[in-house]
């Protein structure tokens, strides 16, 4: 009998339960955005496996975190699934990631809990940069869940924050040229209507795993007043208590929005 392991498991369960009660008693963020980082390092350093195995585990972790959000009634989860810069990785890794994203979109779209909790799945990013199989999976997920409004899972695929702002500026310029928009009426709210997350509140909490302390071109317009949280835990090893700690930290901060 592994007595030490039993004691550790019980201590973890007790702490998790206490922390969850504390978090549920506080104000819950409405929108959490996550930079899911550390898949490859987790596979190599923790498991001694090939880097690609970490991506598979990272996909499974996303499903788990989505369910945590639904359980805490956090309506919006936005995740950085694949950046434009990720296309610079080795060809076999990019191909594997595209296949994994395709699979994930189909599985999320058919997930019973997704439908029971009325989760709309939306993909933000450059469609033109993605292969046909991923585009078909995106359209399938939108068709299956696009009518829901209770919860949202936004997957940033082939996404870049600067690109998002540039696309918004281009669309605004077109509407000005076509007479649909007066330049004198352009303000921050206008730009917010043209970026990829239009219609949604900006993230309350942006968290990044793996120990890196930067936002890496993620939601640059939207995170102007977001609370930032960094943890050194690799994404596949991200635990429920790590998630609760991030929310508790958010709850402990005083958000003044410049006032």
The catalytic residues are 37, 86
φ/ψ of residue 200, rounded to 5: -115, 150
List Cβ neighbours of 125 (8 Å cut-off, separation of 6 or more). 82, 84, 156, 157, 158, 159, 160, 196
Q: Three-state DSSP class for 55?
A: helix
Contact assessment for residue 105 and residue 138, using Cβ atoms and an 8 Å cutoff: yes
Distance CA 226, CA 231 (A): 16
Instruction: Determine the distance from the C-alpha atom of residue 255 to the mean position of all C-alpha atoms in its chain, rounded to a whole number.
Output: 22
List Cβ neighbours of 5 (8 Å cut-off, separation of 6 or more). none
* Angle at alpha carbon of residue 66, lines to 8 and 60, rounded to 5°: 65
Which string of b and e fits 125-140 if b means at least 16 CB within 10 Å? Answer: beeeebeeebeebbeb
φ/ψ of residue 78, rounded to 5: -120, 130
Q: 3-state secondary structure string, 88-121?
A: HCCHHHHHHHHHHHHHHHHHHHHCHHHHHCCEEE
């Amino acid at each position: 009998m592994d007595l030490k392991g039993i004691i550790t498991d019980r201590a973890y369960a007790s702490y998790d339960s206490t922390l969850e009660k504390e978090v549920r008693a506080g104000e819950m963020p409405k929108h959490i955005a996550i930079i899911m980082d550390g898949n490859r390092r987790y596979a190599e350093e923790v498991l001694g496996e090939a880097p690609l195995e970490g991506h598979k585990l990272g996909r499974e972790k996303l499903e788990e975190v989505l369910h945590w959000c639904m359980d805490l009634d956090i309506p919006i989860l936005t995740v950085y699934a694949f950046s434009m810069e990720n296309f610079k990785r080795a060809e076999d890794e990019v191909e594997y990631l595209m296949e994994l994203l395709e699979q994930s979109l189909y599985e999320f779209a058919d997930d019973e809990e997704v439908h029971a909790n009325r989760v709309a799945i939306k993909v933000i990013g450059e469609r033109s940069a993605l292969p046909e199989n991923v585009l078909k999976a995106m359209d399938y997920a939108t068709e299956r869940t696009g009518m829901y409004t209770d919860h949202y899972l936004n997957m940033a695929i082939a996404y870049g924050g600067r690109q998002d702002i540039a696309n918004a500026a281009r669309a605004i310029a077109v509407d000005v040229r076509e007479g649909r928009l007066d330049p004198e009426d352009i303000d921050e709210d206008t730009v917010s209507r043209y970026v990829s997350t239009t219609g949604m509140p900006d993230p309350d909490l942006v968290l990044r795993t793996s120990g890196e302390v930067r936002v890496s071109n993620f939601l640059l317009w939207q995170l102007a007043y977001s609370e930032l949280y960094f943890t050194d835990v690799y994404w596949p090893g991200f635990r429920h208590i790590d998630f609760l700690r991030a929310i508790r930290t958010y709850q402990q901060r005083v958000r003044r929005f410049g006032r």
